[in-house]
Amino acid sequence: MKAVGILLGAGSSSRMGENKMLMPLGNTNALKLSFGALCNSDIDEVIIAVSDLTHIFANTLCEGSKIPARCVMGGETRAHSVINALNACENAEIVVIHDAARCLIKPETINQSIQQAQEHGSAIATTRVVDTLRNEKNHATINRDELLAMQTPQAFKFVLIKNAYKQAEKLENYTDDCEIFLQAGHNPHYFVNDYPNMKLTHKGDIEIFLAILQSRGGQLCE
């Protein structure tokens, strides 16, 4: 069984105001942390979708990697970047798609996604919604008991997700792979990730990320 990790590092970082893939987080950065987590998991190969801003650093990561790793250019949208990476996969049975901005990911969660995708065909990392949710317009409170917030990694049997992407239209409307999987008629399998796995999005996130990384002793920085 070959598991390929697809690492998405080609985003525009528009809400951050600078390239969040490469901005310093202590002695490391988001792209390096996420790449390290994949390399320290049961992933057999990593494909990084890169932009003009990230390809030089990503190539350096690949050259020094302890497992096979290479880069492909990302597309206009997240979904187009995934397609480019899927097209570059060779002999993959399982693909694990991960947003590099979720750089607190742990290898344990990646391994869980691989194992469950083998069993169920897919495995979507989620977290339970704990905040009170209210509609801004009519002030109605939304029942959170059955709500899950989607995260990555999102793992799939390669053939299933590749065909789902082939069937998808208007790719710019999709923000995660699970929705494309759903639109193809599949029933995704969710699992709750118990580790911090927030997405680095705004300047205010940096302090939180640094505190968590410091509590881990800077692990997964290789």
Q: How far is CA 162 from CA 71, 87, 102, in A?
A: 19, 8, 23
Tell me the C-alpha to C-alpha distance, in Å, between residue 93 and each of 89, 125, 189: 10, 19, 17
Contact 123, 158 (CB under 8 A): no
Residue 144: both structure tokens together = 């959170």
How much is the CA Rg of the chain, to the nearest whole Å? 17
Q: Is residue 31 a contact partner of residue 63, using CB atoms and an 8 Å limit?
A: no
Q: How far apart are CA 16 and CA 138, in angstroms?
A: 31
CB atoms within 10 A of CB 183: 13
Q: What is the mean pLDDT of residues 78-100?
A: 97
Provide the token pair at 117.
């995708």
Mean pLDDT of the chain: 93
Please, what are the domains in the chain?
A: 3-215 (3.90.550.10)
* Residue whose structure tokens are 């050259």: 63
Give the residue-averaged pLDDT of 60-82: 96
User: In the numeric block, which tokens belong to residue 196?
Assistant: 């911090």
Mean pLDDT of 67-86: 96
Burial of 184 per CB tally in 10 Å (0-12, 13-18, 19+): middle
pTM score over 0.85:
yes
| In the predicted structure, residue 24 carries a pLDDT above the cut 70 | yes
The total of other beta-carbon atoms located within 10 Å of residue 87's CB is 11
Q: What is the pLDDT of residue 222?
A: 42
Q: What is the mean pLDDT of residues 149-156?
A: 98
